[in-house]
Chain A
Amino acid sequence: MKNQSITNNIDWISIIIYASLVILGWLNIYSSSLSSMENTHEKQLIFIILTIPLIFIVLSVDGKFYEKYASIIFGISLLTLAGLFLFGKTIAGQRCWYAIGSFTIQPSEFAKAATALALAKYLSDTQINLKEVNRQIQALAIILLPVILILPQPDPGSALIYSVFIIVLYREGLPSWYVWTGFITILLFVLTLVLEPQYVILIALATLILVHFKSRLADRNIVLSTILFAIISGFVLSVNYVFENVFKQHHRDRFNILLGKTVDLKGIGYNTNQSEIAIGSGGWFGKGFLEGTQTKGGFVPEQHTDYIFTTVGEEWGFVGSLLVIALFSGLFLRIIYLAERQKTKFSRVYGYCVAGILFTHFFVNIAMVVGIFPTIGVPLPFFSYGGSGLWGFTILLFIFIKMDANKVNEW
C-alpha cells in the first residue's frame, strides 16, 4: 500500500468544483481586465498554472505531516505576520505584503490555514473538554493571536474571517451561549443602527419579560433577568457611542450607505451603487461573455479583485450567478460532509475550519457586492485576482483533500 499514487482516494467532486471555480474566475478576470491597461489576466494565468505544482506538493506530503507539524506551521505563520511590522510593504495604506522584487506576497492569506491546523491540533491533542473555561480560553487564544497581528495592518476583512472559528468550536462542544451571545450581539448592533437605542431597549425588555413569565416557575430567576437586561441596555447604549466616537468616518459611512441613511452615489456610495448597477443590468441571462458594458467601461472599482462577482452578474446574468453560488455552496456542503466522515478528530476539525473559512469569505464578499453588507476587503475564494489568495485557499483546501484521501490508511 505504500507506493500508491497520490491521486488515490482523493475526492474528485471537490476537485472538479474547485477547478471550475478557478477557471470561471479567470474568465471573469479576463473580461474585467479589458477595460484596464494592466495585464491582470496574464498574471492570474501564471498564478493558476503555479497552483498545479503546489497541489502536487501538498498532496505528496505524508498525511501525518500536517498533524505532526501543525504547531510549527502555526508558529512560522505568526512570525511572518509579526514580521510585517518590520519588513512589510504598504500598499493602499495597508501593511500586509512582503515584497520580493516586483512580486508581493500576503502572509495573512496563509495564516488562515495555519490557524485551522493549530486549532485542529489543539482540539485533537488531548481529551479536551470545551466545557471547561480554561480550555475555552486556550482555544480562543489560538484564534485571537493571528487576529491581533492582522487587525493593526489594518486588515479588518481578514480579521473578520476568524470569527467563523467560533462555529467550529461550537461543533466541538463549546457551550451554546457563546453562539447565542455572538448572534444577539450582532442583532442588537444592527437593530441599534437601524432603530433608535431606546426602542431596542424596549424590545429587549419586552422579550425578557415574556421569556421570564413563559419559562417554568423553577427556572425563573429575577436577578439573572435583571442583570441580562442591564447588560443589554449597556451594550445598546455603547453601540451608539462606539459608532459615533470609536468608528472612523469611513466605517460610519459604510454602514450608513448600507442602511440607506446616506445617499452619495458619487463619493462613498459609488462602489456599491456601481456594483449594484452592473449586477442588476445582467437580467436573466446576462449580456454575454466580454459584452458587459459596465465591465468594459470600468465603472466598478476593484472589479478584478473584491468586486469580481459583478462581472459574473453582468455578463452571465441570474443564471450564471446562480451557477457560481451553487458551485460554492456545493463545495462547502461537500467539505462538511467529508469532515463528518473523518476518522480522526484532527482532520474533522480541520475540514470544518476549511468549510467555515471559505464560506465566510464567500458570504461576506458577495453580500458586500450586492449591497447587503458594509464595504470590507474580503476576496472571493478562487475567483478574485491575486496569487497569495489563490494559493492560500488552494493550500487550505488541498491539505484537507489529502487528509480525506489518507483516512483509508489510518487503520
Chain B
Amino acid sequence: MRKVLLPSLIIIATSLLVMRIFYLQIVDDTLKLKSENNAIKKKYEYPERGYMYDRKGKLLVANQASYDIMVIPREVKKTDTLEFCQLLKITKEDFIKKIEKAKVYSPRLPSVFLSQLNKSEFAAFQEKIRKYEGFYFQKRSLRDYEVDFGANIFGFITQVNEKLVAKNPYYNSGDLIGRQGVEESYEDLLRGVKGVKYIQKDKYNREIGSYKDGKYDTIAVQGEDINLTIDAEIQKYGEELMINKRGGIVAIEPSTGEILALVTAPSYDPGILVGRQRSKNYTELYRDSIAKPLYDRGLLAEYPPGSPFKILTGLVALQEGVIDANTTVFCNRGFSYARGRFMGCHCHGGALQLHRGIFESCNSYFATAYMKTINKYSKPAQAVDIWSKHMKSFGLGQFMGYDLPTGKKGNVPDSKTYKRIYPNGGWRSTTIVSNSIGQGEVLMTPIQLANMMATIANEGHYYTPHIIKKIEGHKIDEKFTTKHVTTIDKKHFKPIISGLFDVYNLGTARSLRVEGIDICGKTGTAENFAKIGGVRVKMEDHSIFVAFAPKDNPKIAIAVMVENGGYGATIAGPIASLMIEKYLRQKITRVDLEKRILATSLQSRYAKLGGLSEAVKLQLRISDSLLKKKTTIPTVKVKTDTTKSNKQAI
C-alpha cells in the first residue's frame, strides 16, 4: 500500500493536467480567438472606388484624397498648441476636448483627431506635421462629384452600420459603404475588394513585422468604373426645370429600357455629403420630413395616374374586342353611370370615336369602354382579374426589377382587392368605373408611367428600366436585355398612338408643340388632399404629363409629375416637351416657355404644408459644397450659374 501512493499521485495528477490542457486547447474555442485578437492585427488597404460616367462617357463621380489627422495621446509632447490650432483652424478648447476624448478611448492607440480634411485644408498642416509628436495622418479616398446634380441617382457613401458589420463579414467597423442610388445597388462592383495585411504584434501592441512573411496577405482589387444610362445634359436640365417645384421626371429610351433621366425635386448637391460638414448636412436633409429631399419621387411617389391611364383603358377595350376605332360614344359633358352618379368631363361633348376620345381626354368615352370590358364577362370578378392581368403586363402593380435600391409597387386592383373592400360582394362595373380614368384604386409611380409610354412607343413591349449602361469587363444583367411583351396585340397600338399624336396637334397640349418633332403625349391631373392642422384639405391637383417622341422611331419616353402643379398642360406638359426638345435637339427654341417654367415657383403652395422653405434648402446646397467653392454665390440663381461654369469645364 505504501509503495502505491506516489505512483498513484503521479498518474492522477498527470491525468488532471492532460484533461485541463485538453480543455484549454481543444474544447475552449474562445482562447484561440483571443490569441488572434491580441497578437495579430489585420491592416486593410482600401482600393479606390470605381468612377461613374454618364451614357456619353462624361465623368460624373470620381474620388478625391482626404486626410484624417490621427493622434496617439501618450506620445503627444508639449508643443506650440496655438500654432497647431491655427493650422487646423480649431480652437484651443476643441484641441483639449479632442485630446481628452482620444485619451478616454486609449492613451496608447491611435484615434481620429480630425477627420476628412481636404487637400487644401491639409496642405498647410502637412509641412509641419513632423513637429508635432504623437500626430500623424491617414489618407482616405472620398467621393468627388464632378457635377452638382444627380444626388438621388448616385446615392452617397457613409460608414457602415454595426448591424451590417455583424451580418456581412466583408465589412469592418468604420468601413465605408454606398447607400441609396447606384452606390448602393452596385456597391460590390464599385467598392472593389480591400486588401489585408496580417501584422504580428507584441504585448505593447507594437507591430513587430508581418505575420508568417505575408503568406495570408492579399492585395486590394480596384473598384470597377461604370457607365450609367443617364444623359448628364437632360438630367441637369430636368433638375433645373424642377427648381422651386416638387415632383419627379423619369425619361426612358424605349428601344432599350435605359433610364435617360431620373429627376426628383427638391434635390441637393451631392457634394454636400462629403467632408467635414457631411453629418450635419445629412441630418438636415433627413429631418426635412415635408419636402423630403432624400425621397426619390421618380421611384417612390405613388399617385393615381389620372388621364394618362385612359390609354391603357382604351388598349384593353380594343384587345377584348368590346370597342373598335369607330365605336361611337355620345358625351353629354359627362357620364352618368348609375342613378345619381355622374362623372364630369372636360371634352367638347357630342359624339366621339376613340381618336377624339384620346386627344380630348373624354371621360365618358373611356368610362363606357371600361364598363363594356368589365360587362363582357358574366362575373365582374373574372373581368377585373383579366383586366388586371393586362395592366400588369405593362409592369404596373409590381416592383419592376430596375437596378436602384428603392421603389414602390403602385397598385392595380383585382378581384381580391374588391373582395376586401366589399366583403359582402355586390360590386359591379359601375362601382369600380373610376379605374377607367386612372382614379379609383389605381396607383402608379412616375417610373411606371414612363415605362408605360415606352411600351406604347414600342407598340407592345418593353425592357426593364435600368440605370447601368456598361461595366468594364462585365456584362450587364440579362434581365435588362430581355423583352417583356404585353398582352395587347401590336395592331391595337396604332389608333392609340395617332390619338396621342393629336393631343399635341388638336388636343390638350396644342400649345406645347415643338416645330419639327412629332410628339405623342397625354396630360393628366391627380386630385390630392393634405392634412393641415388635422383637417383634410383639398390641395391643388398634381400636374402629370406623359409623352414619347418622335412618333416614328421613338427615342425618348417621359413621365413628368409636379406636385400641386395644377392642370397637366400648365407645368408638367411644358417640362416634358422641353426635356424632349433638349434631348433630341440639344437646344431649346422656345426660350420664352423655358424662361416661364424656370421662373415658376410653387413654394407658396408648398408653404401651406409647412417645413423648411426651399430657399433654405438652396442655401444648403450652395454654401456647404466644399468642392466647387460656390460659397460666394448666395443667390437663388446659383443653379444656372454653375451650369455655365460647368459648361466651360466640359
Query: Which residues of chain A come closer than 8 Å to B202, judged between CB atoms?
Result: 35, 296-299
A328, B11: Cα distance in complex, Å: 11
Interface status of B212 (Cβ within 8 A of chain A): yes
CB distance from A34 to the nearest CB of B (A): 10
Contact call B21/A329, Cβ cutoff below 8 A = no
Per the bound structure, the CA–CA distance linking A284 and B21 in Å amounts to 10
CB B509 to nearest CB in A, in angstroms, measures 75
Whether A297 lies near B200 (C-beta < 8 A) is yes
- Which residue of B is nearest A363, CB measured? B13
**Does chain A have a CB within 8 A of B136?**
no
Give every chain A residue within 8 A of B17 (Cβ-Cβ).
Answer: 325, 363, 366-367, 370
Which of the residues B28, B30, B208, B212 comes within 8 Å of A291, measured between beta carbons? B212
CB-contacts of A284-310 with B (<8 A): 284, 291, 293-294, 296-299
Using a CB–CB cutoff of 8 Å, the interface residues on chain A facing chain B are 35, 167, 170-171, 173, 179, 274, 276-284, 291, 293-294, 296-299, 313-314, 317-318, 321-322, 325, 328-329, 332-333, 336, 340, 352, 355-356, 359, 363, 366-367, 370-372
For this complex, 30 residue pairs linking A to B, each with C-beta atoms less than 8 Å apart, are: A170-B5, A171-B3, A171-B5, A171-B6, A173-B2, A279-B21, A280-B24, A280-B30, A280-B31, A280-B35, A284-B25, A284-B26, A293-B211, A294-B39, A296-B202, A297-B39, A297-B200, A297-B202, A297-B208, A313-B24, A317-B25, A322-B18, A325-B14, A332-B10, A333-B7, A355-B6, A363-B17, A366-B17, A370-B21, A371-B20
Give the chain B neighbours of A280 by CB distance below 8 A.
24-25, 28, 30-32, 34-35
Confirm or deny: B536 has a beta carbon within 8 angstroms of a beta carbon on chain A: no
The answer, yes or no, to whether B474 is at the interface (CB within 8 Å) is no
Known: A363-B13, A366-B17, A372-B16. A294 touches B5 (CB 8 A): no
Docked Cα-Cα span, A318 to B6, in Å, equals: 26
Interface string of B107-132 (1 = CB under 8 A from A): 00000000000000000000000000
A313 & B21 in contact (Cβ 8 Å cutoff): yes
User: Do residues B203 and A297 form an inter-chain contact, with CB atoms below 8 A?
Assistant: yes
Let me know if A279 and B39 touch, CB within 8 A. no
Residue on A with the closest CB to B29? A280
B20 adjacent to A372 (CB under 8 Å) = yes
Report if B38 contacts A (CB, 8 A).
yes
Q: Using known A-B contacts A281-B31, A283-B25, A284-B25, determine if residue A167 contacts B5 with beta carbons closer than 8 Å.
A: yes
Instruction: Decide: B25 and A167 in contact? CB cutoff 8 A.
Output: no
- Given the known interface contacts A277-B34, A284-B25, A313-B25, the answer about A167 and B208 at a Cβ–Cβ threshold of 8 Å is no
B201 at the interface (CB under 8 A from A): yes
Contact pick for B10, options A294, A314, A321, A359, CB 8 Å: A359
Binary A-proximity of B190-231 (CB < 8 A = 1, otherwise 0): 000000000011110000100110000000000000000000
> In the bound complex, how far is the Cα of B330 from the Cα of A31, in angstroms?
101
B residues 12-58 touching A (CB-CB < 8 Å)? 13-14, 16-18, 20-22, 24-26, 28, 30-32, 34-36, 38-40
Besides the contacts A280-B24, A280-B30, what 5 more A-B pairs have beta carbons closer than 8 Å? A277-B38, A294-B35, A314-B35, A370-B20, A370-B21
**Complex CA–CA separation, A314 to B39 (angstroms):** 12
Nearest residue, chain A, Cβ from B32: A281
Interfacial residues of chain B within 615-641, with CB under 8 A of chain A in the complex: none
Does B9 count as interface, using CB distance less than 8 angstroms?
yes
- Interchain CB contact under 8 A, B25 and A277: no
User: Lowest 8 A-B CB distances belong to which pairs?
Assistant: A280-B31, A281-B35, A293-B39, A280-B24, A297-B202, A318-B25, A297-B39, A329-B14
Cβ 8 A contact of B34, one of A170, A281, A297, A329: A281
A274 to B36, CA, bound (A): 12
Interface size on B, residues (CB 8 A): 36
Quick check: A293 and B11 within 8 Å, CB to CB?
A: no
Closest to A301 in B: B203
Of B5, B24, B200, B201, chain A has the most CB atoms within 10 Å of the CB of: B24
The residues of A that contact B203 with a CB separation of less than 8 Å are: 274, 297-299
- Do A171 and B2 form a contact, CB below 8 Å, given A279-B24, A297-B201, A366-B17? yes
**A299 nearest in chain B by CB position:** B203
Nearest to B2 among chain A residues (CB) is: A171
In the bound complex, do residue B35 and residue A277 qualify as a contact, i.e. CB atoms below 8 Å apart? Answer: yes
Considering the complex, give the chain A residue whose CB is closest to the CB of B1: A176
CA distance in complex: A31, B208 (Å): 15
**In whole angstroms, how far apart are the Cα atoms of A363 and B28 in the complex?**
22
Name the B residues within 8 Å of A284 (CB-CB). 25-26
Contacts of A332 in B (CB 8 A): 10
User: Which residues of chain B come closer than 8 Å to A167, judged between CB atoms?
Assistant: 5-6, 9
A284 nearest in chain B by CB position? B26
Given A313-B24, A325-B14, A340 and B211 contact (CB-CB distance below 8 Å): no
Name which of B28, B35, B39, B40 has the most chain A CB atoms within 10 A of its CB. B35
Choose one: A321, A328, A356; the contact of B6 (CB below 8 Å): A356
**If A293-B200, A297-B39, A329-B11 touch, does A282 touch B25 (CB 8 Å cutoff)?**
yes
The answer to whether B200 and A170 have CB atoms under 8 Å apart is no
Which residues in B have their C-beta under 8 angstroms from that of A355? 6, 10
Q: Report chain B residues within 8 Å CB of A299.
A: 38-39, 202-203
Q: Determine if B40 and A293 form an interchain contact, defined as CB atoms under 8 angstroms apart.
A: yes
Q: Which residues of B contact A340 (CB under 8 A)?
A: 3
Please indicate which of the listed interface residues A35, A332, A340 has the most CB atoms of chain B within 10 Å of its own CB. Answer: A332
* B38 & A297 in contact (Cβ 8 Å cutoff): yes
Chain B residues within an 8 Å CB radius of A291: 212
Chain A residues lying within 8 Å of B22, measured Cβ to Cβ, are 318
Verify A333–B21 contact, CB threshold 8 A.
Answer: no
Task: Write out the residue numbers on chain A whose beta carbons fall within 8 Å of the beta carbon of B35.
Answer: 277-278, 280-281, 293-294, 314
CB within 8 Å for A296 and B6 given contacts A277-B31, A281-B31, A372-B16: no
